[in-house]
Structure formats: structure tokens, C-alpha cells
């Protein structure tokens, strides 16, 4: 915007200067010509009264400009010159003439004498005399015009700063809001239109905060709604006669309670607050849980885990939820006995790369779209993992494993 305003002011100033300076330059040239011609005419007028007197020769020779007086007898007094057509015409018509020639401007004045006939006084104003001082005047006008253009650009730059600075602040605030810094607010400054946009952006940020607060409260209410069913489930588990079955059901109820608590904590977490965890520890813990189920269903488990620590910019509960969702897909969509592999490796530049691959039939068509699984499930497992990876600034990639089956790769960063 600053560049466009500068170009606009420069173009406008140049047009105005052209409209005024070009006629002024022509006027300066015309004034210089008129001044030189008037000086020459004044010299001729001083000679006119001396025609036919003895002082004529002295008067002609003492003039600052070369003067020639053509006598009716053919003699030339003063500067030697030939009779030009202008001299002949002035003698014949007895009228004064001004003629432009290659040497300059020729002035002829006829003087009629009753005794001897018509005298013609002639002088030539050189071209250099006609333009004396014009070049310097034009240079002064050009300098004045350049100074005005520079002054206009400076004024335009100052004006552009007053316009661009509030807009840049608005852009910075919008980027902060995009990074979930919902406390960011724009200062109302600049032109009225920009102040109105700042007020609208602040109102939008406040409205987003209100909506998120309402959503967090609604999610928080989930804990109270699920407390009674979970309590009943624990009582039922305790009433079971088989201790192993009772422990299994109680553990499942505790897992549901932990999942609900994690959802509530995630919803109430302030936007923009970055959390991190040790990916090696989280993956090892969750893989130990799933290894028991894999043993019950005769699934070989291949694992490649670094000793750690391996920090990534994602909360531990979100990484655990993503891994549970991906491994849950393996158990839900592959037959018993299907082997799977979990690989965790350091990422070049910091972070980690988590890969889950299986030897099953692979992804069904259109299974990567949110809400569509192709096998009767909710279709949200991959989306949960994708959102967890993107929350930490990473990515999720799903494709076919080299030996067949499905492979999902999560790339997690160290920091946002």
C-alpha cells in the first residue's frame, strides 16, 4: 500500500507540475525574447531622430548592438551589411518589420526624409541573445519540480505509514488469533474504516471465547452425566463372583472414567498453551496395554522403540488417545492372528516419527474421510490421530505397507 500511495502521489504531482511548469517555461522563453527585442528596438529608436544629421555616424558606432543604416544613395553607415529583402520591403512600404533569420531576429525601421528619401535602420538580435538566461531559468524550474515531487513522496510515505501501521497491527492480531491466542486484541487506531475493522475483529475474538467457554462447560457437564452410570458399573463389577471378571470390568470402568477426564481437561485447556511429553514413554506404556490384548488374539507384535526420552509438542493424553485409536483400528478391522508393528524413531531436526503397520487387508475405499470407515464403525479413529498430530504441528500420512496391509505414519514436532 505504501508503494502504491507513493506512485499515486508521484504521478499526480508530476501531472500538476507539467500543467504549470511547461507553460511557465514557455513564458520564460517568450519574456527573454521580448526583452532582447525590446532592447534592440530601443537602440533603433534612439537613432531615428539623428537621421540626416552629422551625429548619425557617431550615434550608430556607439550603440551596444551592431546597427546598419542604409542611405537612399546606397551607402551603408555603421556595420557593413548587404541589403536584405526585409530592408528592400521596409524601404518600399515604409513600414517596420521583424523577421526571423538563421542569424537571429532581424529588425528594420524605415525613416522618411523629405530631402534625400527613405533611410532604413537595421539590426540583428542573435539567437543566443534571444535565449539568454532561459536555460538557467528552466534548470531552476526543473529543480523546483523535483523538490516538489520529493516533498510529495515524503508526505505520501508519512500518510501511508499512518494507514499501513494499523493494518499491520490488525494482521498481527489475526495471526495471533489463528494460533489460538484468544486474548489478543487490536488497538483501535488509524482511519475510521480501520478502527471499525479492529472493533469487529475484537468482537469476533470475544465471541469465539464465549463459544469456546460454552463448549467447554458443555463438555464438563459430561462428567456429571456419566458419573452415575460409571458408579453403577463399578457396583456391578464388585458384585461379580469371579474376581478376575470383576477386576476386568472395574478396569474397563476406570478406563472410561480416565477417558472422560482427559476429554474434560483437553476442553478446559487454555488455547495456545503448548504442552509436551516423552513420546517414547507414552508409546511404551500404551503398547504394553495393547500387547496383552494382542496375546489374547494371537497377534504377533513387532516393536522398535528408542530408549528415550523423545520429547514432542503434544500432551501425553492426546498422544495416547491417537495411538489407542490407531491400534484399535488394527484390532477392529483385521482378523485375529494378524501381525502388526509399532515403530518410533527420532525425527531429523527434532521430534519423532510414529509408524503403525499391519499385515491385514489394508484400507477400504474412502476410509480416510472423516466419518466414513467402510466397515461399520464411526470412522473417527484416523481423524482423532490426525487432529492430535496437527495439534502438535505435525502431520498424518496413511498408505499401504510395503508387504501389504495398512500403514499410518505420524510425524510429531518438538515445538510449534
CA distance readout (Å), 416 to 243, 253, 279, 394, 412: 47, 35, 16, 9, 10
Residue ranges for the chain with pLDDT beneath 70: 1, 114, 219-224, 227-228, 261-274, 364-381, 415-416
Take residue 107 and report the three cell numbers written for it. 529588425
Strands (E), 27-152: 67-70, 76-78, 97-100, 104-113, 117-126
pLDDT score, position 184: 86
Compute the distance between CA of residue 43 and CA of residue 59 in angstroms, rounded to an integer: 10
Q: What is the pLDDT of residue 371?
A: 45
Domains of the chain: 2-134 (3.30.450.160), 192-267 (no CATH), 274-412 (3.30.565.10)
Q: What is the pLDDT of residue 91?
A: 85
How high is the pLDDT of residue 409?
Answer: 92
Distance, CA of 174 to CA of 186 (rounded, Å): 9
Sheet holding 340-346, edge to edge: 301-304, 340-346, 352-358, 406-412, 395-400
Nearest to 20 by CA among 120, 107, 129, 145: 145
105 in Cβ contact with 54 (< 8 Å): no
pLDDT at 372: 45
Bridge partners of 204, per DSSP, are none
pLDDT (tens digit per residue) in 158-193: 887 777 788 888 888 888 888 878 788 888 887 788
Question: What pLDDT score does 378 carry?
Answer: 40
Nearest to 48 by CA among 114, 129, 110: 110
pLDDT at res. 364: 64
Amino acid at each position: 500500500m505504501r508503494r502504491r500511495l507513493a506512485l499515486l502521489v508521484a504521478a499526480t504531482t508530476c501531472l500538476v507540475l507539467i500543467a504549470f511548469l511547461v507553460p511557465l517555461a514557455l513564458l520564460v522563453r517568450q519574456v527573454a525574447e521580448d526583452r532582447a527585442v525590446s532592447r534592440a528596438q530601443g537602440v533603433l529608436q534612439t537613432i531615428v531622430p539623428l537621421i540626416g544629421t552629422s551625429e548619425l555616424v557617431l550615434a550608430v558606432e556607439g550603440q551596444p548592438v551592431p546597427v546598419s543604416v542604409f542611405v537612399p544613395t546606397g551607402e551603408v553607415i555603421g556595420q557593413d551589411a548587404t541589403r536584405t529583402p526585409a530592408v528592400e520591403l521596409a524601404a518600399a512600404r515604409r513600414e517596420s518589420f521583424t523577421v526571423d533569420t538563421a542569424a537571429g531576429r532581424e529588425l528594420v525601421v524605415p525613416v522618411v526624409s523629405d530631402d534625400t528619401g527613405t533611410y532604413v535602420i537595421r539590426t540583428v538580435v542573435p539567437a543566443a541573445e534571444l535565449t539568454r538566461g532561459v536555460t538557467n531559468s528552466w534548470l531552476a524550474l526543473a529543480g523546483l519540480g523535483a523538490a516538489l515531487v520529493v516533498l510529495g513522496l515524503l508526505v505520501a510515505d508519512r500518510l501511508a505509514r499512518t494507514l499501513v501501521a494499523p493494518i499491520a497491527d490488525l494482521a498481527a492480531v489475526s495471526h495471533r488469533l489463528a494460533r489460538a491466542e484468544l486474548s489478543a486484541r487490536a488497538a483501535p487506531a488509524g482511519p475510521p474504516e480501520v478502527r471499525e475493522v479492529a472493533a469487529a475483529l475484537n468482537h469476533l475474538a470475544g465471541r469465539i471465547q464465549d463459544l469456546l467457554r460454552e463448549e467447554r462447560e458443555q463438555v464438563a457437564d459430561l462428567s456429571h452425566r456419566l458419573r452415575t452410570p460409571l458408579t453403577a458399573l463399578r457396583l456391578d463389577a464388585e458384585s461379580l463372583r469371579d474376581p478376575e471378571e470383576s477386576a476386568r470390568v472395574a478396569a474397563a470402568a476406570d478406563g472410561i472414567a480416565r477417558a472422560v477426564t482427559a476429554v474434560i481437561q483437553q476442553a478446559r485447556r487454555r488455547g495456545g498453551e503448548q504442552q509436551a511429553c516423552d513420546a517414547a514413554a507414552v508409546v511404551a506404556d500404551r503398547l504394553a496395554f495393547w500387547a496383552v490384548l494382542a496375546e489374547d488374539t494371537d497377534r504377533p507384535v513387532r516393536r522398535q522403540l528408542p530408549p528415550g526420552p523423545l520429547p514432542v509438542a503434544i500432551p501425553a493424553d492426546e498422544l495416547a488417545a491417537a495411538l489407542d485409536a490407531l491400534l484399535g483400528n488394527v484390532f477392529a478391522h483385521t482378523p485375529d492372528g494378524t501381525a502388526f508393528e509399532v515403530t518410533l524413531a527420532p525425527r531429523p531436526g527434532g521430534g519423532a516419527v510414529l509408524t503403525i503397520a499391519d499385515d491385514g487387508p489394508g484400507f477400504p475405499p474412502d476410509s480416510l474421510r472423516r466419518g466414513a470407515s467402510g466397515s461399520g464403525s464411526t470412522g473417527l479413529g484416523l481423524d482423532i490421530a490426525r487432529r492430535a498430530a496437527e495439534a502438535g504441528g505435525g502431520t498424518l500420512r496413511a498408505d499401504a505397507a510395503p508387504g501389504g496391509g495398512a500403514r499410518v505414519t505420524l510425524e510429531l514436532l518438538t515445538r510449534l
